[in-house]
Structure formats: structure tokens, C-alpha cells
Structure 1
Amino acid sequence: MSRPAAKPSSLEKTRSTERSEVRAAVGRFLAVGIVAMVFVAVPAALWVRELSERNAMDNAIQHAQRLADYSVGPLLSDAVLAGDPGSTRRLDDRLAPRISDGSIVRVKVWDPSGRIVYSDLPDLVGQVFTLPTWTPELLAGGKGRATLGLQNDPGDENETEAGELVEVYVRATSASGDPLIFEAYFNDDAVRDEQSALVVGLIPAFLLSLGALQLAQLFPAVQLARRIQGHQSTKRQLLQHAIDASDLERQRIARDLHDDVIQDLAGLSYALEAEERHSAPENRALFSQATAILQKNVQTLRAMTTELYPPDLEELGLPAALARLTAPLIEQGIDVKLHVPADCDIDRDRAAMFYRVAREVLANTLKHARAGVLELTLMQDDDRTILLIHDNGCGFDLSAEAPDNHLGLRIMRDTIQVAGGSLEVRSWMGGGTSVMATLDRVAPARVR
């Protein structure tokens, strides 16, 4: 007969939860690192692309300058500049292979007045256009210019349908030494190929470097997460020991009061009653008053022992324990509305925390709130359990320094926060007070 599987202990649950928290922290670190890599890689890729485009433009200028200096310029004779028929045959033959293979789309040579003195399209020769404002600088020996884009300027009607082209202007010199402007249009494939080659060559190395940096930071991040988790676990354990010690001290004080002080006072009360019956008539009123004071003090001390030492929540359950806490308020004439499900699913640790919160709140309500109505609600869903307590008493100023009677709630807030929950207090002067305590359904640590 097989044995049922043993339920994991509280310590095992805590350790499992801590490991999950470390994994979650490392996962968040990796996610943030990946997002950072994307944010860094995208601008870097754009920068590399722009850099490669500028480099390709510089190469196009150099190519066009060599073409103007060594292939076109020496053949620009005075006859070509004068437009004599048949004088451009040698130029046409020299440029024909480059134009036929697509490396050059169009060639134009301008004189300083804006007249086209040579083009691979004979119809353009002799036409005059307005030159750009920077052409005097270029004619004076300035650096050539190159642009990449669609050709929509006047005189570019024949290149409009060719798509994006690299347009280059460089200075040329005729055979007789006259300065001219050499304009060439190149296919953009070379520029795009150079951009792609540079991006493909640099971006992977860049990403690998970022990835290596991320991995190098991962191990210290894991160690740091574990160290922080260890500190949190130690803090929880110290808090648990403090709460356990507080419970033991409460139990000891309650036992001492019950076994010693209350018994002695009760015995003294009985003695006074007996003395009252045998005393002179003029002394009986005094004995009666003293007996009444003693009996009232005994009742107060017994109420204190019940408040100091909580009931056995495992035996009574949280609903019955909360109902017992409201009994003193009902005796004082406060209308208590209790909304607690009889079958609430809550473990001993969280039930004890909710019980302590309710005990502090109800004690403050009874002593200071001067309330007529108090409503206590316990709610649960799939993720969390909520305890909500509201009264219609006098309230207090939250912005002021916490009075001594609210220190218990401050301690409970710290306790619940360490356990992964929250405690929120809202109060309005003359408008009552609301306290809401929230804990996850699965407690991250054992805090009884």
C-alpha cells in the first residue's frame, strides 16, 4: 500500500519561493539587458549605416575624380568645347564600356557658364542650365560633392525613372587647361553593397561585445540577488523570532496575571464581601464600594489576559476568533457588522497576522475612536486575502506624528510588508478610520 506524498514543509516552501524570487530577479535583469541592447544596437546600426554611406560617397568622388583626370579631361579638346561634329567620338568610345556595363548611368561636362559641352546623350550638348551656388568653389579647386537620391532637378529628366542614383560633381580640366565641371551619375548598388557589408561586419561584433558584457554582469547580478535574498531571509527569520518572543512574553504575562494577581485580587474581593457582612452598618458602604472596585479590576485584568494571549486559531479558526474580538465592542454598544466567510481558506501564519491586525484596530477603536458603527470584512480571491476594517469614529490626522496608541499598527505594517503584503491606514478628522491589510494567498515567508 503506497504512502501519500508528504506535503512540503514551511521551510521548503520558503526556500523554493526564495529560489523563484532569485530566478525572477535574474530574468528581469536579462530582460532589461536585452531591451538595453536593442536600444543601443538600433542607433548604432543607423550610425554605421550613415558612416558607410559617407564613406561610399567619398569613394564615388574619388572614382569620378580619377575618371575626370585620366579618362575624360585629356580628351576634352577645343573642338569638343566648340561643339564641332565628330569631335566627341573618342570620348564616346572611352566611356561606352562603362555605360554599357551599368557602372555609369550618365555623364555631363559643364563649362563655367552652365552650358553642357559634352554628354553621352548628344541631345543635351549645348543646353544651358543654372549651376549650383557652390560651383565657383569647385572650379577653384574645392572638394567634389556627391549625393544619393532621386534625380528631380532641372536637366535630370532623363534620369528621373532610374530611381536612386549617386550624383557626383568634380572639377575637370580640358586639354588646353580650361576649368570645367564633370558630372557623373552612378548606380546606387555599390553604395548599398558597401553599407550592407559594413553593417554586417560591425553589428554582429558589436552585439557580441554587448552580449559578452551582459554575461559578465550576469554572474555578479546573480550573486547580488542571492545575497539580497539571503539578507531578506535573515530579516524574516529575525522578525519571526521577535514575533515568537513577543507571543511567549504575552503568554507569560497573561499566565502570571491569571495565576497570581487575578487570583489574589479575587480572594481579596471575597474577603471584603465576608468582612462587609460582619462589619458595623456605618462601614458596610465602604466595604461595598471597595468590593465593586476590586471586581471591576478583576474583570479588566481578565479581559487583558484574553487580549494578551490570542486564542488557538487552529482550533477556533479565524472567523470565530475575529467574532470573539468584537465582543467587547458589542458590550460597549457599538454596532458591529461582521462579513467573514465561514469557510475561508487561510493558513495559520496569515490567520495569525490578520488576527493581530484586527486586535490592534479594534482595541484602538474601543479606546479612542468613539465610534457607533464598525464594519469588519474578510475577502479572498485567487491571488490574495484582504482584511478591511472601517469605523465611523472621530478619526485622526495621518500627517501628524503617530500617537502611542498607533505604534502597534506601525509594527504590524512593518511585519506585513516583510511578509510580502501591505497595510494601509486611512483616516479623516470626524470621518472615521479605515484599515486594509493585504497578503498573498501563498505566503513568501512564515510569519505567524
Structure 2
Amino acid sequence: MNGLRLGSAAPAGNASRDAAEHREISSAVAKFLLAGVLAFVLVAIPVAFWIRAAAEQHALNNARDQTQGLADHVIAPLITDQLLAREPAALELLDKRLEPWLAGGGVARIKVWDAQGRVVYSDAESLIGQLFEHEEWARLLLEGGPATVSLATQDEAENEFEAHSGELVEVYARSVAQSGAPMIFEAYFDGQQVRREQEAVLMGMIPPMLLSLSVLQLAQLIPAVRLARRIQVHQAARNDLLRCVIEASDLERRRIATELHDEVIQVLSGLAYSLESEERRGPPAQRAVFANARMLLQDNVRALRAMTSELYPADLEELGMKASLLRLETPLLERGIALTVDIPDKLVLDRDRAALVYRVAREALLNASKHSSAQSVGIRIQQLSQRTQITVEDDGLGFSPNTAPPEGHFGLKILRDTIHQAGGVLAIRSAPGAGTSVTATFDAGMPSFR
């Protein structure tokens, strides 16, 4: 049988279809889970950054509020005329009041500025009395603006003691001397405390967020599996309907072919023999008429027999694929078209795939013989792993695939729809003057349609 092996065991076919359906559902679920993981990542990463930024801002706001409270309740009552005059006793008193804040490690540096930009107090004694130019933000703060806070390395001229301390939280708050003069209170906090608080908030938020997203993903997985199974059931029902349609079509084609062969062709063949007899025995003047009628009738009988062969294809299991395809050569030879067939030595196809391959070849050869004006046509069947591909190429006139199909070309369109419904792919490539190539691809897991 030319290496063609056809599967016929129903249990094996059912097992193959069940395995294919299981793979389809598993693939759909895997794709759903992958999409969920991608969505999970796309949601979790921005949320994590948002939580991190919010935690940082929360820590900075705490530092700002703490500094403002220190400025209002500790610093302001001690900004006396004596402190402004830099009397040692006033400076020493403020040192003692601020010592718990500085010694506890929460505050790294403290400065008090007047409206002119002069440092009237600092825990770094060498800074007291130095004058620095105020920027616009200082003027706004002195006029009653809100406290400002930032987290950065300090590299300004007035930061000689903080330049090598890494990231520091710098807070500027407004204070008022006992005389009523507006003052600026500046405090530096260790930036590592902010980072630790930031990480603590982040670590506290991430687990419940991940748990919530995971629960949501799992909650969606069960409906997704049910939906995949429901789609599979509808797909199976559609395939069953398609199988019934194809079987009904084949049955009707066989019935018509049988009636043509057993009745019409037999009657016409008998009539042809009768005409031949009259041609031999009849009057000489009538012989030419009988001869023309007989030849016309015989041509019609041959056409009907060719039509019968097309309606009722060869038995693939009995003849084999190559022999069945070679039987399609007769219409081509009548038009002077050469046919070549290239088939693997071991071609493994079940009945459904074999029937589809034969249908593609038959329809493509029929179109080539009627419409292409080709000199040669080639059939090539390739099989790789679970995939089978048949290509029919001719060197004929070709046509433009973008235009409406010419008269008589609807067979390929119907075949394309049938193959698509059965899970295969049919590709037609052609161009005016460049011939036509028809390629059909089938997977072993595609649904049965016969």
C-alpha cells in the first residue's frame, strides 16, 4: 500500500482524541496561569514601588512633625535675647535641653538661624555666628510657610560636618524667638532610620498583597478550567456536526455515483453499441450520422465515468495513497499535463487525514486541469513528527488571490472551509503568470471529521 498505514481501531482513535482534548485543556489552563503570572508581576512591581514611595513619604512626614514639635516646645522658649547675644549660659542651657535628642541617635545635627541667615545656635560650636545667604524657600518659611523635609546627601557650604554622613533627612521648621522675631530651626536625622522604616512598611504590606493576588488567581483558575472544558464540549459537538455533514455528503456522492454507473452510464453505453451496430448495417448515407452520434455519446460516457470517479474516490486503504493519486492523472494526460508524485516511503495517516490529503490533491488537480493551462503539476507530501503537509504546485497561468475566485474555483474555497473546520490550515499562493501552489497542513491531534 505504498507505505500508507491507516488506523481503523475505534478505541485507539477515541483514546487519541481524549488525549488531544486533555492536551488542549492543559494548554489553555497553562496559558491562563502564565497570563495570570504576567498580570501578577505587572501589578505587584508598580504597587511595591508605590508602597515604598509612600513609606518613605510617611517617614519623612514623621520627621517633619517631630522637628516642628521640637521647634515649638523645646527650642522656641529658649531663644532668648541672651542666646541671640551668644552668652555662654544661654548656649549651655540649650545644649542640655537638646542633649537627649542628640545623644539618643535620632538627631544628627541641629541649627538655629535668624532672618538674616546667621547661625545663632548649633551643636557644632564652630558654626555659631557664621552667616550664610538665605534662599527663596527660607524667605517663604520665615513668612509662615510650611516646614520642608528632604532625604539626600548634604554638600552645601554650611554642611561641612554633614558632608560625609551619607543620606540625611534635612528638616527646616519655623520657630519664633521670645522677642517675636521669626527664626528657622534646622535638624538632621539619620537617613538609615527612614530606610528601615520604609523597609518595615514594605515588608509588612507585601505578604498580604501577594496573598490576596494569589487567592484571586486561584479563585479565577476554577472558572477558567470549567470554561475550557465547556469550550471543549462545544468544539466536540461542532466536530460531530461537521462529521455528520461530511458523511452525509459522501453518502450522497456515492449514491449519485452508483446511480450514474449502474443506470445512466449502462443505458448510454448500450445506446452507443446500438448506434455502432446501425452504423455498420445501416444505409451508407446514414453511416456518417450514426458515427457522429456514437462518438458524441462515447465522449459523454467517458465524461460521466470521470465524474463518477470524482464523486466516488478510490479506496485509499485498498490501493494506497500513491496509487490513488496516480488514478487522478487521466484528466491531466488528456490535456497534456505531466504529473509527478513525491510521497515518503513510510506515510502514516489515519483514515481522516488520508481522506483530507486525497481531497486536497483531487481538488487542486481538478482546478489545474481545467483552469491553469499548465505543462506540469507536482504533488509533494511531507510528514514530520505529528504534522502532515501536502503541496500541489503547477506552472500554469496563476491568478490573483486578492480578486474574486474565477468561475469554477469555488471548490478550493469549500475545501478551505472544510479543512479549517476540521482544525487544519489550507494556504493558496498564486500570481498571474507564476503558477499556483496549494498547501494543506494537518496535525495528528486535529479532530476527526469523517
TM-score by length of 2: 0.93
Whole-angstrom CA distance in 2 between matches of 1:381 and 1:16: 20
| C-alpha distance 223-130 of structure 1, shift in aligned 2 (>3 A) | same
2:351 is aligned with 1:348: yes
For residue 447 of structure 2, what is the aligned residue in structure 1? Answer: 445
8 A Cα contact 2:424 2:446, kept in partner = no
Please tell me the residue identity of whatever aligns with 2:447: A
Deviation, 1:7, is 8.7
Q: Partner of 2:297 in structure 1? A: 294
Quote the residue 1:367 is aligned against: 370
**CA offsets 1:157-193 (integer angstroms, 9 cap, x no match):** 2112111111000011223332110000001233223
* Mapped contact 2:29–2:224 kept (Cα < 8 A): yes
- Out of 385, 390, 396, the position equivalent to 2:388 is 385
- 3-state SS of the aligned residue for 1:109? strand
Aligned residues with identical type, % of pairs = 49
From 144, 163, 167, the equivalent of 2:166 is 163
The alignment partner of 2:449 has SS state of: coil
Which stretch shows the higher mean deviation, 151-160 or 215-224? 215-224
| Aligned mate of 2:408, from 405, 408, 412 | 405
- 1:27 matched residue in structure 2: 30
Classify 1:210/1:414 alpha carbon distance in 2 versus 1 (closer, same or farther; 3 Å).
Answer: same
Pairing of 1:21-420 with structure 2 (within 5 A): 21-420=24-423
**Is the contact made by 1:397 and 1:427 (CA closer than 8 Å) also made in structure 2?**
yes
> Which whole-Å CA distance do the structure 2 matches of 1:249 and 1:7 have between them?
24
What is the TM-score with the length of structure 1 in the denominator? Answer: 0.94
Q: Distance in 2 between matches of 1:367 and 1:82?
A: 114
Structure 1 counterpart of 2:147, one-letter code: G
Q: Which amino acid aligns with 2:160?
A: E
RMSD between aligned residues: 1.8
SS at match of 1:161: coil
Work out the CA distance in 2 between the residues paired with 1:157 and 1:384.
Answer: 76
Asked if 2 retains the 8 angstrom alpha-carbon contact of 1:319 and 1:342, the reply is: no
Q: How does 1:2-21 map to 2 (within 5 A)?
A: 8-21=11-24
Q: What's the secondary structure of 1:385's corresponding residue?
A: strand
Q: Does structure 2 retain, via aligned residues, the 8 Å contact 1:349–1:446? A: yes
| Residues in 2 aligned to 1:68 and 1:354: alpha-carbon distance in whole angstroms | 90
Per chain length, whose mean CA-contact separation is higher, i.e. which structure has more relative contact order (CA < 8 Å, sep 6+)? 2
- Structure 1: give runs of 5+ residues left out of the alignment: 1-5
SS in 2 for 1:380: strand
Is this contact kept in 2: 1:391–1:434, CA < 8 A? yes
**Structure 1 residue 404: Cα displacement:** 4.6
Counterpart residue identity of residue 152, structure 2: G
Residue segments in structure 2 that go unaligned for 5+ positions in a row: 1-8
Q: Return the alpha-carbon distance in structure 1 between the equivalents of residues 345 and 166 of structure 2.
A: 78
8 Å CA contact retained: 1:25, 1:225: yes
**Partner Cα separation in structure 2 for residue 94 and residue 326 of structure 1:** 110
| Equivalent-residue separation in structure 1 for 2:20 and 2:384 (angstroms) | 20
Name which of structure 1's ranges 134-143 and 231-240 shifts more when overlaid on structure 2: 134-143
**Inter-partner Cα distance in structure 2 for 1:333 and 1:303:** 17
Residues 350 and 443 in structure 1, CA contact (< 8 A), matched pair in contact too: no
**Paired positions, count:** 442
* Aligned-partner residue type, residue 142 of structure 1: G
Please state how far the C-alpha of 1:229 moved relative to its aligned partner. Answer: 1.7
Aligned to 1:426: 429
Question: Do the aligned residues in 1 keep the contact of 2:339 with 2:377 (CA within 8 Å)?
Answer: yes
Verify the 8 A CA contact 1:350 1:447 in the aligned structure 2.
Answer: no
Q: d(CA) in 2 for partners of 1:16 and 1:342?
A: 28
Q: What are the Cα deviations for residues 78-107 of structure 1, in whole angstroms up to 9, with x where unaligned?
A: 222122345311222222232223111111
Q: Deviations over 1:354-375 (max 9, x none)?
A: 1001111111111111111212
Q: Does the Cα contact within 8 Å between 1:333 and 1:372 map onto a contact in 2? A: yes
Q: CA deviation at 1:21?
A: 1.1
Q: Which amino acid aligns with 2:265?
A: I
**CA–CA distance in structure 2, aligned partners of residues 412 and 261 of structure 1:** 28
